[in-house]
Amino acid sequence: MKRKNILQGLLLLIGVVFYSSRAYAMHIAEGFLPIEWAGVWWIIALPFLILGIRRIRELVNDKGIEIKMLLAVAGAFVFVLSSLKLPSITGSCSHPTGIGLGAILFGPGPMVVLGTIVLIFQALLLAHGGLTTLGANVFSMAIVGAFVAYGIYSLAKKLGLPIWAAVFSGAAIGNLITYTVTAAQLSLAFPGQSGFLNSLLEFMSVFSITQIPLAITEGLLTVLVFNFLRAYSKDELRELSIIGR
């Protein structure tokens, strides 16, 4: 009986994925979270933002110009990647986040700030995302995305995986989780008549599949830049304890 249910669920999921033309954004549009939820995510995001600003200040004060340049590279990577709207196999477009690289290099804290800067740029100039939903979008991309990318990378390294594999999985899973969190945020705010879980399934159905190839692309692009850093920025990577002495 239970197995039958799971099977039915799977079939439903596959059906929804292939027959629906819906697509999802990773950023929640302006005004599209009820005011109380918009507030909740702002309140949750603020402490992380403050910690992140502190961490960046430490980096800027204590480290040399080489590390500061690398921090600029991490920010630039987010700028480039979040402007690339890529086609996916479901016939819609979505974009990578670029958070993984910086989270792996500097830990999640600084990326909360860099991610927020990019989100503000897009909210003010591109009407992409929004100010009221900034807290929610910062939470999914710059907080959960950064912490998960860093966590997966550290775990993979501890498990003895080669460093490129650790970088790849950190960046790719960090990207996927961002979209999952966005879906969860929408389902919490709009459980519909069928409740949170069904609603989550509904919100996730299409865009998680859309997102898998993009997550792979994000992982590959991150490894590309990381390979360069390993060849030309060895001293910086040693200083940040990414590679051994």
Partner 1 sequence: MTLSKKNMLIIIAILIITILPLIIKSNADFAGADGAAEGVIQEMNSNYKPWFSSLWKPPSGEIESLLFALQAALGAGVLGYYIGYKRAVGKKVERNKDC
CB nearer partner 1, residue 48 or residue 210: 210
What is the Cα–Cα distance from 15 to 146, expressed in whole angstroms? 32
CA 219, distance to chain mean position in Å, is 11
In three state form, how does the secondary structure of 209-225 look? HHHHHHHHHHHHHHHHH
Q: Is 130 in the site for partner 1 (CB under 8 A)?
A: yes
What is the Cα–Cα distance from 163 to 157, expressed in whole angstroms? 7
CA distances to 72, 144, 191 from 154, in Å = 22, 15, 35
What is the Cα–Cα distance from 111 to 117, expressed in whole angstroms? 10
Quote the least distance from Cβ 184 to partner 1, whole Å: 13
Site for partner 1 in 183-222 (CB under 8 A): 186, 190, 192, 199, 202-203, 207, 210, 213, 216-217, 220-221
Binding partner 1 (rule: CB under 8 A), the pick from 16, 86, 161, 165 is 86
Residue linked to tokens 């069928």: 194
Q: Is 49 in the site for partner 1 (CB under 8 A)?
A: no
CB nearer partner 1, residue 181 or residue 223: 223
What is the Cα–Cα distance from 64 to 236, expressed in whole angstroms? 10
CB nearer partner 1, residue 116 or residue 217: 217
Which stretch, 3-11, 40-48, 66-74, 143-151, contacts partner 1 (CB under 8 A)? 66-74
Residues of this chain that bind partner 1 (CB under 8 A):
21-32, 34-35, 69-70, 72-73, 75-94, 121-128, 130-132, 186, 190, 192, 199, 202-203, 207, 210, 213, 216-217, 220-221, 223-225, 227-228, 231-233
